[in-house]
Structures are given as C-alpha cells and as structure tokens.
Structure 1
Amino acid sequence: MILTRIINPTRKLKPDSILSISLFTTVSSPPSDPLISDAVSILTHHRSKSRWSTLRSLHPYGFTPFQFSEITLRLRNNPHLSLRFFLFTRRFSLCSHDVGSCSTLIHILARSRLKSHASEVIRLALRLADDNEEGENRVLKVFRSLVKSYNLCGSAPFVFDLLVKSCLDSKEIDGAVMVMRKLRSRGISLQISTCNALVSEVSRRRGAFNGYKMYREVFGLDDVKVDDGKKMASKVKANASTFNLMMMSFYREGETEMVERIWREMKEEGGCSANGQSYCVLMETYCARGLMSEAEKIWEEMKVKGVVFDVVAYNTMIGGLCGNLEVAKAKELFREMGFKGIECTSLTYEHLVNGYCKVRDVDSALVVYREMKRKGFEAEGLTIEALVEGLCDRNRDKVVEAAEIVKVAVRESEFYPSRECYELLIKRLCEEGKMERALNIQAEMVGKGFKPSQETYRAFIDGYGLAGDEKTSALLAIEMAESLKLRAEEVS
C-alpha cells in the first residue's frame, strides 16, 4: 500500500519528522453514542422522503462535528448518502463543521472516486481551517487532519492529489508545494497529472525557470540519495506532457535556448518519446528565430518517426514559412492539407493572407481572404489591417475595396480599426478624390473616439485642393490651426 510508510506506527521516525507519531496511529472511537446509532438507523432504513424530516424532528439541535464523522464513517459504503447527509446538515445548520468532520467525508468521497465532490469539500475545509492564518498554515492543518483520519476511513492515496489540486485552484501554490514536499520526504509521489499541474502553475505564475526548478524537485532529479552507487529512481516519471508544458512556458517567455534544452532532456534523460505537440513547439521556436532550415528538419523527422500531422502542425509550419517570406512553400503545404483531407482553420488562412501581404502579392492575399470569408471564418484585426494596408499602398485603385472590407468587418465581426487604419483609408480616398467616402470614414472614426489628427486634416486639405474646392480647403486649414492651438493650450 502506497501509504504504508506514513501510517505504519512501527517504523522508526527521525526526530525532525514532518508529522508526529500521533498522526499515524488509528484513533480509537469512544463508546457508541445512542444519538449516532439512532441517526444511522434513520438514514439507512427510512425512505428518502421521510428520513430528513425525521432527523430534524428527533434531533433539532443537530450534531457535533465528531458525531457527524462517526455517522458518516458508518455510512462509508454509501458515499452518496454520506454526501446528502452532509449537505442536509449544512442547509439546515445542524452541524458546525470543522476540518475534522470535512476530512472524514473527503476520505469517503475519495475512496469512491467521487473526485469533484471531494474537491469541493476540501475547498470548504481550507476555508474552515483558520481564515486568520496564512495559506500554508491552513493547508498544513487540513493535511494533518487527512493523515490522521486516513486509516480509519480506509481512504485512497490520491486524496492528497486532490488536496494539491485544490490548493492550485485556490492559488495557494506554497501550500501545494508544502504537501508535495511532505509526501516526498516519506517516499510518496503524487500522480503524474498532479505533478504536471504543479509544474504548470508554478511556471505560469512564477516564471518558466521556477517551473523548471519545480519539475526537477517534483521528479527527484536532483536527489542525492544513492543505492549501490546509483541515484534512486523516482516513483513517478515525467511524460511528454510534462516536457511540452515546460517548452511552451519557455517559448512564451522568449527563452528559445531553454526550449531546445528541454527537448534534449526529454530525449536523453526523460526517456519518453516526443509527440506531435512536442514537435510543434520546437518548430515554432525555430520559426520564430527565422531558422527555417532547422524547422524543416524537424518536419522531416516527424515523417520518419511516423508522427501524425494534424492541423496544428501544418499551421505552425505554414505560419513560419509565411513569416519568413517563403509563401510559395507555405502554399504547397496548404494544398497538401487539402489532399490529406485536413480541414483548415481561420489561422491557416490568416497566415497566408499576412504572408502574401509581406511579399506584396496583395492580389493573392485578397483571393485567400475571399475564400476565407466563403468558408465562414473571420479574420483577426491585425490581418484585416495588413490587407487594407497592402491594398492602399500597392493598389491605390483598390482603396474603395479596402474601405468596403473594413466596413463589412466592422458590421459582421465587431472589428475595431486602429487610428492608423482609419487615417490610411482617409488619406488614400482623398488622394483619389473620393471626398464623400472619406468624410463618411472620418465620421465613423470620430464616433469610435478618435479625434481628427494633423494628418487627417492635411489629407482633407490636399484632397479638396486637388478637387478644385479651394474654399473648403482654406476653411479646413484654419480649423486645423485652431484645433492644434486648442490642444496645445490643454497640454500646457
């Protein structure tokens, strides 16, 4: 049994043991309380409709936490009834529950694999432990209580995994780490999913390097204990998910060298095989650094290893190629997706639109964008603005089409153009002499909270001048001067 080293009272413990002997021994129950026997009889023999009203009438003053624990222990083979009894006492304030009474129910729910309910009661126990103490002390109190009642309830080892995950859900990382360390000091390992959750949360909240340190501690990679000259093997091994989450964490922080290091450790020290996600993260890392030859080597390695190419893998490679101006290769992969029956996503099309805009092939970008719209996908704001910029700069005769794209996107996908996007459209429309359309866009721009800038005024002044409307152009010049003067006064 996994907890033998904790609960075996004959084992000699060091003076500085994290838990005292009293917590490992089974606590004997006092003589049976008639109230307890009576409550158990009502709960087990009465019909569901009458048991609760009977309990309330016969025991209007409710139960002590100890009495609740004893009753629940006798119902441990019926965990759903135990849970309903707990909810009943809470609803009608028939028991002032404490950490001990919660611990009994937690064990009963855990041994029956009712994990979500057990986690809810753990969170209650953490709140009841002592709201005036620091988080780690609350966790320690619940941990001690669970250890003390473990044998008596015939619990399951993963009850401590539930405690760690509940701490993480409550953002009590220090408490979760404390529980892990106390268990490891007794040679007990958490489940791999719990280990990964702990490493992931530390990485997310305290940075990738701290997450990496936690990984090495959780999996015992720096333990100095030896057996016959060799480091003692950890009871739980890191899996591909462990390495993937660390690689992603370092990638997000721009630590690309650490991504490669984790990749090497996975293959050399971890002893586990990379999966599709692992390859995608490494490819993404190379793509971000512009090392497309290295990314292509990884792509070929995936083929050799028989790794299944999914849409994420294709999107990663297509995005990298487009970002590094190799749009022709990206288009080949796009066609390959179609041949293999792999459905594209919005991101696939966006990569291609942006790629074509970067190489100034706006016509192809427009074709891809129209196909994207036909498929029912909506582009992100940056993609739309890249397309608008391409249409305005390379094909000024298509500025009206660019304005129409923005208009439709605002109406259909809640697109919010930037000031730069509005000003570019206004400038190009004014240059084309389409003053009415430019005024409509300027009105929309003001409605979005953007005040006319000097660039906007100059675009209209020049536009009306080219159109031969010198009067309007002169009036706008005066208005611009007054506006600039007013703003200067506001700043001063």
Structure 2
Amino acid sequence: MVIHVQLAKHLHKSLNLKPKPLTFFFSSSSSSQQQQQQQQITVTSAVSILTNQRSKSRWNTLHSLYPNGFNPIDFSQITLHLNNKPHLALRFYQWTKSKSLCHHNLSSYSTIIHILARGRLYSHAYNTIRTALNSDTPLKLFETLVNSYRDCGSAPFVFDLLIEACLHSRKIEPSVEIIRMLLSRRISPKVLTLNCLISRVCRKFGVDVGYEIYREFFRLDEEKYDFSKRGYGCKGFRVVTPNVHTFNTLMLCCYQNGLMEKVEEIWSEMCEMNCNPNGYSYSLLMSAFCEGGRMGDCEKMWKEMRKKEIEPDVVSYNTIIGGFCKIGDVGKAEEFFREMGLVGIDATVSTYENLVKGYCNVEDVDSAVLVYKDMLRKDFRPDALTLDMVVRLLCDRGRVEEAMEFFRSGVADFDLVPKEKSYEALIKGLCFEGRMEEALKLQAEMVGKRFEPNSDIYEAFINGYIRQGNEEMAEALRKEMVQTHAELTN
C-alpha cells in the first residue's frame, strides 16, 4: 500500500493536475487539510490512470491501487476531470457499479448525469436518472442537480430528462412541482416535455386540471402576448410557445372524455394563437363533429383541409367514413372509401369495420357480408362487436347457417369472445328452424360463457318444441322459466 501511495504522489506531482473545486459537495469545515490533500492525490492519480493508460490495463491498475473503491466525493471529482471525455466518464461509472467500488449517492449520480447530458449521451443520462430515482425522491434529485448544475457545466435539457423519467415512473405530482421550480428559476422545459406532462395530467386528474396546467406552464395568464411575435418575455425569460401537438394533446383528451364542445374551444384557441393545425388536428375536430352527427360541419373542415393543401391521411378518411356510416349515409361513406383507394391510401381494419357497421345499421345484409368477407381476405381481425352485428342481421334475415359459419370462424380463427346477443340471435334462429339439438348445445356453450338464458331464449325453445309437437318439453320449460324468474327477482 505504501508503494501505491508513493506512485499516486509521483503522478500528482509530475502531471501537476489541479482538481476542480466542487462547492456543492463539502464546506470548508467539512474535512481537514490533510484529508483534502489525500483526496487530491486520489483524484489526480485516478484521472491520470484513466486518461493515460490503455483501456485494457487501466481498470486493473485502478482496482489494484484502490481495492476499496472510491467514496462519492472522490468519484464526483474524478468524473469532473473527464467532462470533455463523456464516454470515458460513462465507462468509469459503469465500472464502479459493476465492481461495487462506489456507494453512489445523489451527489455522485448528479455529477455523472450532468457529464453525460453535457456530452449529449441522452439515453445513458436518462437511465442513470432512473437509477438515481430508486435511491431517493425526485425532488431531492432535482435539488442536487440544480446545486451541481454550474460546476458541471451542464445543459438545461437535463431537467427534461428528469421529468421524462418521473413520468415514466408515474410520478406526476413531483413532475409538476419540478416544472414549477424550474419556471421560478426562469428555466422552461422543452415544449415536448410539457406536452407529455399535460397528457399524463389529463389522463390521471381529468381534462380540467390538465387545461389549468397547460395555461400555467405556458404562462398564458401572466401576460398578454402577441403570439405572432412570441419569443422573450419580461427580463429576457424565454417563453415556450404551445405548438400544434400541445393543442392536439388537449383536443384528444377532451374527445376521449366526451367533451366535444371543449374540442371546438381548444381548436378556436389554437387558431387565435396563430398555430397552424395539421392533419391530425382536423381529424380530431371532425371526430367531434361526427360524434354529434354534424356531417355538414365535418365536410366543411374536409374542404378547408384540402384548400390548405393538407393531405388527408388514413385517420382522416376513417373519421369521415365512420361519421357517414353512423348517420346511415353509407353511399357517401363509399365515395370516400373509393377516393381513399384512388389516392393510394390503404384501408385499415377500422375502415372495413365502419362500413360493415354502416351497412348493418341500414340492414343491407348482402353489402355487409360482402365487406366483411373482403376484410377477412385482407387478413384483418374483426372485433366482437362487428361479428355480433353481422350474425344478428343474418339471423334476422333467416340465414342462420351462414350466421353460424361467421360465428364459428370468429371464435376459432380470431379467438373472439362473442356477445350475448350473438348467442341469443343464433339460438332463436336454430329453434325457429327446428334444430333443437344444435340450439341446446349452443345454449350450454352460452352458459359456459356465464351468459344466463333470458325469457326470450326460453320462449324460443318453447315455441320450437311446440312446432315439433313436444308439448311435454314445452310445459317443462315454461315451469323452469317461471321458477328462474322468481329466483332472480327474490
């Protein structure tokens, strides 16, 4: 060990390295002069080994020279000397972690996080933040990052990475507090970070809270800005401007919560701020119109979008096709479907499901079946609701055998869980055709899916047995139906 100390002193003297001060790690009264000198020797020798020795030998030399590793203060000072060699600093950090040669705390984590951020090693900085969050609270880590920010010559987006890591861990409230503290220090996160937070707040706390956060974090209630010239606010503070994705986030949250009028309000606010909507913005507004059956307004938006030379995408086409199908104007929906193909946009499963449901709503069974089969040919997986509508419509038209084929195919090929109404329609159809054994098997399958037979199913079986002349079975089912009803009402 004496030899190691002498070697370290020699390296310190010959290289004449001066450790950089780290005011955030210790005060002048925290250690004696002798301890500081020993610390300087440790830092200097470690830096020399890391920067001057070959990669294969440096780690063995370090380990032999410092078998007990480094304390967090030493690690931070060593890492600071590597601030222009972020990849080497990263390898040093990973080496101490893999060999358990440093019990890292928030201070040492903060140093390496800043160095990695300064070196634009985003993913490694982000992963290190997530590791640090396992050892303490987000607010404590934030405080340490703030205190070490200047000494490490870091970059502001390090706080965006912290907020992103917090959101990934579903720590929404600390994220809000961190942004508030950043804004109080005249630092604003990137608009992408704010958009992500607004979305999470809307989902967890509701649209109203998300909207309040949006106005607070974009500082919309503090001053009246000319948004066409928006830039620096008072005293040189850079004011981040909401972008189209901000408004799309808010409109989507409103739409998902059934607040269609609020979608229009957000759209108007976007226009007032001279923020140009994109294709997705138009799709969201048109979706809101479609929910209210306002297809005239929807078509106006479609024409405006085309006038602005914003090309509709598959979402836009699916939106307007679904809207016309919902009000029963399947002919108009087919026009947009054909146009979709002409401009080279491939239909999706949603396109076909909208058309199938549209034809079912107008009881055009042949067209519904045709589109449904076309959907299957294109290897799209239908949902249970679409299958249910086709099955019921076929049964209503007396095409029970065809309905059974679709039903069995949906269960076997797509692992769909049929709706209760599908079972009911098929059982009624089978009983009407006198296929009582098949109806009984299907009824047993229905019960296995935890769907209890209702009075309509009992009536179907009773009428089926009567048509076969089996009055005894019909009477037994009548008594069973009465008894079941009494048990359910009690």
1:200-211 aligned within 5 A: 200-211=199-210
Letter in 2 for 1:153: C
Alignment equivalent of 1:63, drawn from 67, 70, 89: 70
Deviation string, structure 1 residues 445-466 (Cα, Å, up to 9, x no partner): 2332334444433322221221
- C-alpha change, 1:435 and 1:163, in structure 2 (3 Å) is same
- C-alpha change, 1:258 and 1:478, in structure 2 (3 Å) is closer
1:76-115 aligned within 5 A: 76-115=83-122
Task: Report the Cα offset of residue 479 of structure 1.
Answer: 5.2
* Equivalent residue number for residue 327 of structure 1: 330
* Equivalent residue number for residue 413 of structure 1: 414
* Equivalent residue number for residue 177 of structure 1: 176
Task: Report the Cα offset of residue 420 of structure 1.
Answer: 2.3
Query: Gaps spanning 5+ residues in structure 1: where?
Result: 1-21, 130-137
The answer (yes or no) to whether the contact 1:126–1:139 under 8 Å persists in 2 is: yes
Letter in 1 for 2:274: G
Deviation string, structure 1 residues 173-215 (Cα, Å, up to 9, x no partner): 2222222222222322211111211221211211111111111
Task: Report the Cα offset of residue 276 of structure 1.
Answer: 0.2
Distance 1:317 1:410 in 2: 30
Deviation string, structure 1 residues 193-239 (Cα, Å, up to 9, x no partner): 11211221211211111111111111111114999xx9758521111
* Equivalent residue number for residue 80 of structure 2: 73
Letter in 2 for 1:380: D
> Is the counterpart of residue 291 in structure 1 residue 294 in structure 2?
yes
- C-alpha change, 1:477 and 1:257, in structure 2 (3 Å) is closer
Task: Report the Cα offset of residue 258 of structure 1.
Answer: 1.4
The answer (yes or no) to whether the contact 2:25–2:73 under 8 Å persists in 1 is: no
* Equivalent residue number for residue 7 of structure 1: none
Task: Report the Cα offset of residue 292 of structure 1.
Answer: 1.0
* Equivalent residue number for residue 14 of structure 1: none
The answer (yes or no) to whether the contact 1:330–1:352 under 8 Å persists in 2 is: yes
**Stretch moving more, 310-319 or 116-125:** 116-125
1:218-229 aligned within 5 A: 218-224=217-223
> Is the counterpart of residue 464 in structure 1 residue 465 in structure 2?
yes
> Is the counterpart of residue 36 in structure 1 residue 37 in structure 2?
no
Letter in 1 for 2:129: I
Task: Report the Cα offset of residue 482 of structure 1.
Answer: 6.0
Letter in 2 for 1:102: Y
The answer (yes or no) to whether the contact 1:385–1:421 under 8 Å persists in 2 is: yes
Distance 1:27 1:113 in 2: 31
Structure 2 counterpart SS, 1:33: helix
* Equivalent residue number for residue 6 of structure 1: none
1:122-271 aligned within 5 A: 122-129=129-136, 138-224=137-223, 232=234, 235-268=239-272, 270-271=273-274
Q: How many residues align?
A: 455
Alignment equivalent of 1:274, drawn from 269, 274, 277: 277
The answer (yes or no) to whether the contact 1:25–1:148 under 8 Å persists in 2 is: no
**Stretch moving more, 28-37 or 212-221:** 28-37
- C-alpha change, 1:482 and 1:293, in structure 2 (3 Å) is closer
Deviation string, structure 1 residues 77-120 (Cα, Å, up to 9, x no partner): 22222222222222332211111000000001111111121122
The answer (yes or no) to whether the contact 1:419–1:450 under 8 Å persists in 2 is: yes
* Equivalent residue number for residue 446 of structure 2: 445
Distance 2:98 2:424 in 1: 62
Task: Report the Cα offset of residue 287 of structure 1.
Answer: 0.6
Q: TM-score, normalised by structure 2?
A: 0.86
* Equivalent residue number for residue 11 of structure 2: none
RMSD: 2.7
Distance 1:254 1:234 in 2: 35
Task: Report the Cα offset of residue 62 of structure 1.
Answer: 1.3
Alignment equivalent of 2:360, drawn from 357, 361, 370: 357
Percent identical residues? 49
The answer (yes or no) to whether the contact 1:102–1:122 under 8 Å persists in 2 is: yes
Task: Report the Cα offset of residue 367 of structure 1.
Answer: 0.9
Distance 1:44 1:25 in 2: 24
**Stretch moving more, 92-101 or 350-359:** 92-101
- C-alpha change, 1:243 and 1:27, in structure 2 (3 Å) is farther
Distance 1:175 1:323 in 2: 43
Distance 2:444 2:196 in 1: 51
Distance 2:265 2:220 in 1: 15
Distance 2:259 2:406 in 1: 38
Deviation string, structure 1 residues 138-165 (Cα, Å, up to 9, x no partner): 3332222112222221211111111222
Deviation string, structure 1 residues 391-442 (Cα, Å, up to 9, x no partner): 122x11x111111111100001111112222122101110121223323322
Distance 1:68 1:26 in 2: 14
Alignment equivalent of 1:340, drawn from 340, 343, 353: 343
